[in-house]
Structure 1
Amino acid sequence: MAALITRTRARWFAVAAAAVTLPRAAALTARASALTRRSMLLGAGTGALAAATSAAPALARPAPSDGAWAKHDGAFAGVEFDGFKKTPSGLEYKVFEEGYGVKPTAGQGIKAHYAGYLLDGAKFDSSYDRRSPLGFAVGTGRVIKGWDEALLDMRVGEKRVLKIPAALAYGKRGVGPIPADSTLVFFVELVAITG
Protein backbone atom coordinates (compact mmCIF):
# COMPACT_ATOMS: atom_id res chain seq x y z
CA MET A 1 0.00 0.00 0.00
CA ALA A 2 2.82 2.43 0.93
CA ALA A 3 4.54 1.74 -2.41
CA LEU A 4 1.31 2.55 -4.28
CA ILE A 5 0.93 5.85 -2.40
CA THR A 6 4.58 6.74 -3.09
CA ARG A 7 4.20 5.99 -6.83
CA THR A 8 0.95 8.00 -6.97
CA ARG A 9 2.62 10.96 -5.26
CA ALA A 10 5.61 10.74 -7.60
CA ARG A 11 3.29 10.80 -10.64
CA TRP A 12 1.33 13.74 -9.22
CA PHE A 13 4.51 15.75 -8.59
CA ALA A 14 5.78 14.93 -12.10
CA VAL A 15 2.50 16.16 -13.64
CA ALA A 16 2.52 19.28 -11.44
CA ALA A 17 6.13 20.05 -12.33
CA ALA A 18 5.38 19.69 -16.04
CA ALA A 19 2.42 22.08 -15.71
CA VAL A 20 4.45 24.80 -14.02
CA THR A 21 7.26 26.07 -16.17
CA LEU A 22 9.62 28.76 -14.96
CA PRO A 23 9.48 30.86 -18.15
CA ARG A 24 5.68 30.93 -18.02
CA ALA A 25 5.64 31.88 -14.33
CA ALA A 26 8.28 34.57 -14.95
CA ALA A 27 6.27 36.00 -17.85
CA LEU A 28 3.13 36.15 -15.73
CA THR A 29 4.99 37.83 -12.89
CA ALA A 30 6.54 40.37 -15.27
CA ARG A 31 3.14 41.22 -16.80
CA ALA A 32 1.53 41.68 -13.37
CA SER A 33 4.48 43.73 -12.07
CA ALA A 34 4.33 46.03 -15.08
CA LEU A 35 1.00 47.42 -13.89
CA THR A 36 1.44 50.42 -11.68
CA ARG A 37 -0.08 50.55 -8.23
CA ARG A 38 -1.92 53.77 -9.01
CA SER A 39 -3.53 52.33 -12.15
CA MET A 40 -4.67 49.32 -10.12
CA LEU A 41 -6.30 51.57 -7.52
CA LEU A 42 -8.08 53.44 -10.28
CA GLY A 43 -9.24 50.16 -11.80
CA ALA A 44 -7.30 50.59 -15.05
CA GLY A 45 -5.46 47.46 -15.97
CA THR A 46 -7.53 45.13 -13.82
CA GLY A 47 -8.40 43.08 -16.86
CA ALA A 48 -4.71 42.54 -17.61
CA LEU A 49 -4.02 41.54 -14.02
CA ALA A 50 -7.00 39.20 -13.99
CA ALA A 51 -5.79 37.61 -17.22
CA ALA A 52 -2.28 37.25 -15.86
CA THR A 53 -3.37 35.76 -12.54
CA SER A 54 -6.09 33.53 -13.98
CA ALA A 55 -3.56 31.99 -16.36
CA ALA A 56 -1.19 31.26 -13.48
CA PRO A 57 -0.91 27.61 -12.48
CA ALA A 58 -3.06 26.62 -9.51
CA LEU A 59 -0.02 25.27 -7.65
CA ALA A 60 2.00 28.49 -7.92
CA ARG A 61 2.13 30.45 -4.67
CA PRO A 62 3.28 34.05 -4.72
CA ALA A 63 6.48 34.92 -2.92
CA PRO A 64 6.31 37.87 -0.54
CA SER A 65 6.70 40.98 -2.64
CA ASP A 66 9.40 43.62 -2.46
CA GLY A 67 6.83 46.31 -1.69
CA ALA A 68 6.89 48.04 -5.08
CA TRP A 69 3.10 47.64 -5.25
CA ALA A 70 2.78 49.66 -2.01
CA LYS A 71 4.53 52.82 -3.19
CA HIS A 72 2.45 55.98 -3.56
CA ASP A 73 3.29 59.51 -4.63
CA GLY A 74 1.24 62.56 -3.64
CA ALA A 75 -2.10 62.97 -1.92
CA PHE A 76 -4.76 60.31 -2.38
CA ALA A 77 -7.52 61.42 -4.74
CA GLY A 78 -11.11 60.40 -4.10
CA VAL A 79 -11.26 58.45 -7.37
CA GLU A 80 -8.50 56.17 -6.08
CA PHE A 81 -11.04 54.71 -3.68
CA ASP A 82 -13.65 53.96 -6.35
CA GLY A 83 -14.56 50.28 -6.31
CA PHE A 84 -13.61 49.80 -2.66
CA LYS A 85 -15.88 47.60 -0.57
CA LYS A 86 -17.13 48.94 2.76
CA THR A 87 -17.72 46.80 5.84
CA PRO A 88 -20.42 47.60 8.44
CA SER A 89 -17.71 49.02 10.74
CA GLY A 90 -16.68 51.61 8.12
CA LEU A 91 -13.46 49.90 6.97
CA GLU A 92 -12.99 50.25 3.21
CA TYR A 93 -10.78 47.95 1.16
CA LYS A 94 -9.87 46.76 -2.29
CA VAL A 95 -8.24 43.40 -3.00
CA PHE A 96 -5.12 44.10 -5.05
CA GLU A 97 -4.07 40.45 -5.37
CA GLU A 98 -5.96 37.35 -4.24
CA GLY A 99 -4.38 35.02 -1.69
CA TYR A 100 -4.68 31.26 -1.22
CA GLY A 101 -5.45 28.80 1.56
CA VAL A 102 -7.32 29.43 4.77
CA LYS A 103 -7.90 32.68 6.63
CA PRO A 104 -6.32 33.14 10.06
CA THR A 105 -8.48 32.88 13.16
CA ALA A 106 -8.42 35.20 16.16
CA GLY A 107 -5.37 34.52 18.31
CA GLN A 108 -3.26 32.95 15.55
CA GLY A 109 0.21 34.33 14.88
CA ILE A 110 0.67 35.98 11.50
CA LYS A 111 3.28 37.97 9.60
CA ALA A 112 2.22 40.94 7.50
CA HIS A 113 4.04 43.46 5.35
CA TYR A 114 2.61 46.96 5.11
CA ALA A 115 3.08 50.57 4.12
CA GLY A 116 1.00 53.20 5.91
CA TYR A 117 0.06 56.63 4.56
CA LEU A 118 -1.94 59.67 5.59
CA LEU A 119 -4.51 60.94 3.08
CA ASP A 120 -2.10 63.73 2.12
CA GLY A 121 0.26 61.02 0.83
CA ALA A 122 2.79 61.22 3.68
CA LYS A 123 4.17 57.75 4.46
CA PHE A 124 4.45 57.26 8.22
CA ASP A 125 5.66 53.65 8.41
CA SER A 126 6.62 50.68 6.23
CA SER A 127 7.75 47.15 7.03
CA TYR A 128 8.85 46.91 3.39
CA ASP A 129 11.42 49.64 4.06
CA ARG A 130 12.77 47.60 6.99
CA ARG A 131 12.58 44.39 4.90
CA SER A 132 10.94 42.66 7.85
CA PRO A 133 7.23 41.79 8.10
CA LEU A 134 5.45 42.52 11.37
CA GLY A 135 4.54 39.45 13.42
CA PHE A 136 1.69 39.45 15.94
CA ALA A 137 -1.37 37.53 17.15
CA VAL A 138 -4.25 38.72 14.95
CA GLY A 139 -7.66 39.55 16.40
CA THR A 140 -6.33 40.17 19.90
CA GLY A 141 -6.23 43.98 19.92
CA ARG A 142 -2.44 44.23 19.58
CA VAL A 143 -2.88 46.38 16.46
CA ILE A 144 -5.48 48.92 15.38
CA LYS A 145 -9.04 47.61 14.94
CA GLY A 146 -9.03 48.17 11.18
CA TRP A 147 -6.00 45.91 10.82
CA ASP A 148 -7.49 43.11 12.93
CA GLU A 149 -10.73 43.24 10.94
CA ALA A 150 -9.01 43.23 7.55
CA LEU A 151 -6.38 40.57 8.30
CA LEU A 152 -8.93 38.14 9.75
CA ASP A 153 -10.62 38.24 6.33
CA MET A 154 -7.44 37.75 4.24
CA ARG A 155 -5.64 34.66 2.94
CA VAL A 156 -1.87 34.14 2.82
CA GLY A 157 -0.39 35.98 -0.16
CA GLU A 158 -3.33 38.37 -0.40
CA LYS A 159 -2.64 42.07 -0.86
CA ARG A 160 -5.20 44.71 0.02
CA VAL A 161 -5.41 48.45 0.08
CA LEU A 162 -7.21 49.55 3.24
CA LYS A 163 -8.85 52.90 3.97
CA ILE A 164 -9.23 52.94 7.74
CA PRO A 165 -11.36 55.62 9.41
CA ALA A 166 -9.99 57.24 12.57
CA ALA A 167 -12.46 55.28 14.74
CA LEU A 168 -10.78 52.02 13.62
CA ALA A 169 -7.27 53.50 13.83
CA TYR A 170 -5.96 55.88 16.52
CA GLY A 171 -9.12 57.95 16.99
CA LYS A 172 -8.84 61.26 18.79
CA ARG A 173 -5.32 60.55 20.02
CA GLY A 174 -2.52 61.11 17.60
CA VAL A 175 0.46 58.75 17.58
CA GLY A 176 3.89 59.94 16.45
CA PRO A 177 3.53 61.45 12.96
CA ILE A 178 -0.18 60.50 12.81
CA PRO A 179 -2.45 63.42 13.80
CA ALA A 180 -5.63 62.89 15.81
CA ASP A 181 -8.75 61.94 13.83
CA SER A 182 -6.74 60.73 10.82
CA THR A 183 -8.07 58.39 8.17
CA LEU A 184 -5.22 56.05 7.25
CA VAL A 185 -4.40 54.21 4.03
CA PHE A 186 -2.50 50.94 4.32
CA PHE A 187 -1.13 48.61 1.68
CA VAL A 188 -1.16 45.26 3.51
CA GLU A 189 0.15 41.84 2.45
CA LEU A 190 -0.55 38.75 4.59
CA VAL A 191 2.79 36.93 4.34
CA ALA A 192 2.22 33.92 6.61
CA ILE A 193 0.14 32.30 9.32
CA THR A 194 2.73 31.26 11.90
CA GLY A 195 0.73 29.69 14.70
Structure 2
Amino acid sequence: MTFFRILILVFLFTASVDSMAQRVVEKYPNGQKKYQGRTENNLKTGTHKYWYENGELQKEEKYNDLGAVIRLREWNEQGELIRDEKPEEVLEGFREKLFNETNWIGQDGIFFHKLKGANELQQRTDYNGIVIHYATYLENGKELDNSFRTKSPLLVQFNSKNLVDGFLRGLRFFEKGDNGYIKVPYDLAYGKDGAPGIPGYANIYFHVLVLDIR
Protein backbone atom coordinates (compact mmCIF):
# COMPACT_ATOMS: atom_id res chain seq x y z
CA MET A 1 0.00 0.00 0.00
CA THR A 2 2.87 2.41 0.82
CA PHE A 3 4.53 1.74 -2.56
CA PHE A 4 1.21 2.36 -4.32
CA ARG A 5 0.79 5.70 -2.56
CA ILE A 6 4.32 6.70 -3.56
CA LEU A 7 3.52 5.93 -7.19
CA ILE A 8 0.40 8.09 -7.00
CA LEU A 9 2.39 11.02 -5.61
CA VAL A 10 5.02 10.70 -8.34
CA PHE A 11 2.43 10.73 -11.08
CA LEU A 12 0.55 13.64 -9.53
CA PHE A 13 3.60 15.80 -10.20
CA THR A 14 3.76 14.69 -13.84
CA ALA A 15 0.00 14.70 -14.53
CA SER A 16 -1.66 17.16 -16.86
CA VAL A 17 -3.64 19.79 -14.94
CA ASP A 18 -7.03 21.12 -15.98
CA SER A 19 -8.14 23.80 -13.49
CA MET A 20 -8.06 22.02 -10.11
CA ALA A 21 -8.36 18.54 -11.67
CA GLN A 22 -5.43 16.17 -12.16
CA ARG A 23 -5.32 13.17 -14.46
CA VAL A 24 -3.10 10.33 -13.26
CA VAL A 25 -1.79 7.54 -15.50
CA GLU A 26 0.55 4.70 -14.50
CA LYS A 27 2.11 2.09 -16.79
CA TYR A 28 3.86 -1.25 -16.43
CA PRO A 29 7.49 -1.58 -17.63
CA ASN A 30 6.16 -3.19 -20.83
CA GLY A 31 4.16 -0.03 -21.61
CA GLN A 32 0.79 -1.55 -20.75
CA LYS A 33 -1.49 0.80 -18.83
CA LYS A 34 -1.70 -0.04 -15.11
CA TYR A 35 -3.91 2.70 -13.66
CA GLN A 36 -5.86 5.72 -14.84
CA GLY A 37 -7.99 8.18 -12.87
CA ARG A 38 -8.65 11.78 -11.94
CA THR A 39 -8.52 13.79 -8.76
CA GLU A 40 -10.08 17.16 -8.05
CA ASN A 41 -9.33 19.21 -4.94
CA ASN A 42 -7.41 16.19 -3.59
CA LEU A 43 -10.46 13.92 -4.01
CA LYS A 44 -10.87 11.03 -6.42
CA THR A 45 -13.65 11.75 -8.92
CA GLY A 46 -15.27 9.91 -11.80
CA THR A 47 -14.06 6.48 -12.91
CA HIS A 48 -10.72 5.01 -11.87
CA LYS A 49 -9.45 1.89 -13.64
CA TYR A 50 -6.72 -0.64 -12.86
CA TRP A 51 -5.34 -3.24 -15.29
CA TYR A 52 -3.41 -6.49 -15.05
CA GLU A 53 -0.07 -6.60 -16.84
CA ASN A 54 -1.67 -8.78 -19.52
CA GLY A 55 -4.03 -5.94 -20.41
CA GLU A 56 -7.17 -7.34 -18.77
CA LEU A 57 -9.17 -4.93 -16.65
CA GLN A 58 -8.61 -5.67 -12.95
CA LYS A 59 -10.70 -3.12 -11.07
CA GLU A 60 -13.01 -0.18 -11.70
CA GLU A 61 -13.96 2.37 -9.04
CA LYS A 62 -16.60 5.06 -9.54
CA TYR A 63 -16.66 8.08 -7.23
CA ASN A 64 -19.26 10.78 -6.71
CA ASP A 65 -18.47 14.49 -6.44
CA LEU A 66 -17.85 14.10 -2.70
CA GLY A 67 -15.12 11.51 -3.23
CA ALA A 68 -17.21 8.57 -2.00
CA VAL A 69 -17.07 5.21 -3.82
CA ILE A 70 -20.49 4.57 -5.34
CA ARG A 71 -19.57 1.42 -7.28
CA LEU A 72 -16.69 -1.04 -7.12
CA ARG A 73 -16.13 -3.86 -9.60
CA GLU A 74 -13.26 -6.37 -9.87
CA TRP A 75 -12.30 -8.99 -12.45
CA ASN A 76 -9.85 -11.89 -12.44
CA GLU A 77 -7.10 -12.22 -15.05
CA GLN A 78 -9.44 -14.21 -17.28
CA GLY A 79 -11.85 -11.27 -17.47
CA GLU A 80 -14.51 -12.80 -15.20
CA LEU A 81 -16.37 -10.44 -12.89
CA ILE A 82 -15.68 -11.49 -9.29
CA ARG A 83 -16.93 -8.47 -7.32
CA ASP A 84 -19.66 -5.88 -7.85
CA GLU A 85 -20.56 -3.64 -4.92
CA LYS A 86 -22.07 -0.25 -4.20
CA PRO A 87 -20.30 0.78 -0.95
CA GLU A 88 -22.00 4.15 -0.58
CA GLU A 89 -25.46 2.54 -0.68
CA VAL A 90 -24.38 0.25 2.15
CA LEU A 91 -23.16 3.25 4.15
CA GLU A 92 -26.40 5.12 3.53
CA GLY A 93 -28.37 2.21 4.98
CA PHE A 94 -26.05 2.07 7.98
CA ARG A 95 -26.44 5.82 8.62
CA GLU A 96 -30.23 5.69 8.30
CA LYS A 97 -30.36 2.89 10.87
CA LEU A 98 -27.97 4.80 13.13
CA PHE A 99 -30.10 7.95 13.00
CA ASN A 100 -33.29 6.00 13.76
CA GLU A 101 -31.79 4.09 16.70
CA THR A 102 -29.77 6.88 18.34
CA ASN A 103 -30.87 8.06 21.78
CA TRP A 104 -31.13 11.77 21.02
CA ILE A 105 -31.33 14.43 23.70
CA GLY A 106 -32.16 18.06 23.16
CA GLN A 107 -34.35 21.07 23.68
CA ASP A 108 -36.26 23.61 21.61
CA GLY A 109 -36.32 21.27 18.63
CA ILE A 110 -32.54 20.71 18.46
CA PHE A 111 -31.25 17.23 19.24
CA PHE A 112 -27.74 15.82 19.60
CA HIS A 113 -25.84 12.73 20.63
CA LYS A 114 -22.13 12.69 21.41
CA LEU A 115 -19.85 9.76 20.73
CA LYS A 116 -17.21 11.58 22.75
CA GLY A 117 -18.08 14.27 25.29
CA ALA A 118 -20.82 14.88 27.82
CA ASN A 119 -24.40 14.36 26.66
CA GLU A 120 -25.76 17.18 28.79
CA LEU A 121 -28.28 19.92 28.05
CA GLN A 122 -25.83 22.68 28.78
CA GLN A 123 -25.13 25.27 26.10
CA ARG A 124 -21.84 27.14 25.84
CA THR A 125 -22.12 30.86 25.18
CA ASP A 126 -18.61 32.00 26.19
CA TYR A 127 -17.03 31.72 22.72
CA ASN A 128 -17.79 33.36 19.38
CA GLY A 129 -16.42 30.78 16.97
CA ILE A 130 -15.75 27.08 16.66
CA VAL A 131 -13.45 25.12 14.32
CA ILE A 132 -14.92 21.82 13.18
CA HIS A 133 -14.81 18.96 10.76
CA TYR A 134 -18.32 18.07 9.69
CA ALA A 135 -20.42 15.88 7.42
CA THR A 136 -24.03 16.56 6.44
CA TYR A 137 -26.67 13.90 5.73
CA LEU A 138 -30.32 13.48 4.88
CA GLU A 139 -32.50 11.23 7.03
CA ASN A 140 -32.07 8.35 4.56
CA GLY A 141 -28.29 8.48 5.09
CA LYS A 142 -27.41 10.25 1.85
CA GLU A 143 -24.30 12.37 2.21
CA LEU A 144 -24.53 16.04 1.20
CA ASP A 145 -21.18 17.46 2.26
CA ASN A 146 -18.09 16.25 4.07
CA SER A 147 -15.04 18.20 5.25
CA PHE A 148 -13.45 15.00 6.61
CA ARG A 149 -12.86 13.92 3.00
CA THR A 150 -11.53 17.27 1.82
CA LYS A 151 -9.42 17.69 4.98
CA SER A 152 -10.64 21.29 5.16
CA PRO A 153 -11.88 22.28 8.64
CA LEU A 154 -14.58 24.93 8.86
CA LEU A 155 -14.42 27.99 11.11
CA VAL A 156 -17.97 28.73 12.23
CA GLN A 157 -18.80 32.18 13.54
CA PHE A 158 -21.96 32.13 15.63
CA ASN A 159 -23.14 35.43 14.21
CA SER A 160 -23.06 33.97 10.68
CA LYS A 161 -26.16 34.47 8.53
CA ASN A 162 -25.02 31.93 5.93
CA LEU A 163 -25.46 28.73 7.96
CA VAL A 164 -28.50 26.76 9.04
CA ASP A 165 -29.85 28.27 12.26
CA GLY A 166 -30.52 24.89 13.82
CA PHE A 167 -26.92 23.83 13.15
CA LEU A 168 -25.55 26.91 14.93
CA ARG A 169 -27.83 26.29 17.90
CA GLY A 170 -26.80 22.65 18.07
CA LEU A 171 -23.11 23.53 18.05
CA ARG A 172 -23.62 25.46 21.28
CA PHE A 173 -23.86 22.10 23.06
CA PHE A 174 -20.38 21.09 21.86
CA GLU A 175 -16.93 21.79 23.30
CA LYS A 176 -13.38 21.27 22.09
CA GLY A 177 -12.69 17.57 21.53
CA ASP A 178 -16.36 16.59 21.30
CA ASN A 179 -17.41 14.20 18.55
CA GLY A 180 -21.04 13.54 17.78
CA TYR A 181 -24.22 14.18 15.80
CA ILE A 182 -26.71 17.02 15.61
CA LYS A 183 -30.27 16.50 14.36
CA VAL A 184 -31.97 19.59 12.95
CA PRO A 185 -35.70 19.52 12.08
CA TYR A 186 -36.74 20.85 8.69
CA ASP A 187 -38.23 24.08 10.07
CA LEU A 188 -34.83 25.03 11.53
CA ALA A 189 -32.96 23.86 8.42
CA TYR A 190 -34.15 24.38 4.81
CA GLY A 191 -37.88 24.54 5.51
CA LYS A 192 -40.73 23.29 3.38
CA ASP A 193 -39.11 24.42 0.12
CA GLY A 194 -35.72 22.74 0.59
CA ALA A 195 -32.62 23.72 -1.37
CA PRO A 196 -30.63 22.36 -4.35
CA GLY A 197 -30.14 18.66 -3.63
CA ILE A 198 -32.26 18.88 -0.47
CA PRO A 199 -36.00 18.11 -0.60
CA GLY A 200 -38.57 20.11 1.28
CA TYR A 201 -39.46 19.09 4.83
CA ALA A 202 -36.07 17.36 5.18
CA ASN A 203 -34.56 16.84 8.61
CA ILE A 204 -30.79 17.35 8.42
CA TYR A 205 -28.12 15.43 10.33
CA PHE A 206 -24.62 16.70 11.04
CA HIS A 207 -21.61 14.71 12.17
CA VAL A 208 -19.34 17.11 14.04
CA LEU A 209 -15.78 16.87 15.38
CA VAL A 210 -14.73 19.99 17.31
CA LEU A 211 -11.08 20.90 16.76
CA ASP A 212 -11.01 24.24 18.57
CA ILE A 213 -13.14 27.01 20.07
CA ARG A 214 -12.44 30.73 19.83
Q: Which residue of 2 aligns with 1:94?
A: 113
Gaps of 5+ in 2: 1-87
Cα distance in 2 for partners of 1:144, 1:98 equals 23
Is 1:161 the counterpart of 2:181? The answer is yes
Change (3 A) 1:155 1:107: closer
2:142 is the counterpart of 1:142? no
What is the rounded CA distance, in whole Å, between the counterparts of 2:208 and 2:135 in structure 1?
7
Amino acid at match of 1:86: G
Whether 2:92 is the aligned partner of 1:74: answer yes
Contact 2:99 2:139 in 1 (8 A): no
TM-score (norm: length of structure 1): 0.54
Quote how far apart the aligned CAs of 1:139 are: 4.7
- When residues 104 and 137 of structure 1 are mapped into structure 2, their CA distance, relative to the original with a 3 A threshold, is farther
1:14 match: none
Q: Which amino acid aligns with 1:136?
A: V
**Counterpart of 2:168 in 1: which secondary structure?**
helix
Q: Which has the higher strand share?
A: 2
Calculate the aligned-residue CA RMSD, in Å: 2.7
Offset of 1:173 from its aligned partner? Answer: 2.6
**Structure with the greater alpha carbon radius of gyration:** 2
Q: 1:81 Cα deviation (Å)?
A: 3.5
How far apart in 1 are the matches of 2:142 and 2:128?
31
Give, as a single letter, the amino acid of the residue that structure 2 aligns with 1:97. Answer: K
TM-score, normalised by the number of residues in structure 2: 0.50
Question: CA 1:141 to 1:107, structure 2 compared with 1: closer, same or farther past 3 Å?
Answer: farther
SS of residue matched to 1:192: strand
Among 190, 193, 205, the alignment partner of 1:170 is: 190
SS of aligned partner of 1:73: helix
* Higher fraction of helix: 1
Deviations 1:167-191 (A, max 9, x none): 1111123222111110111111121
Select the structure with the greater relative contact order (CA < 8 A; seq sep ≥ 6): 1
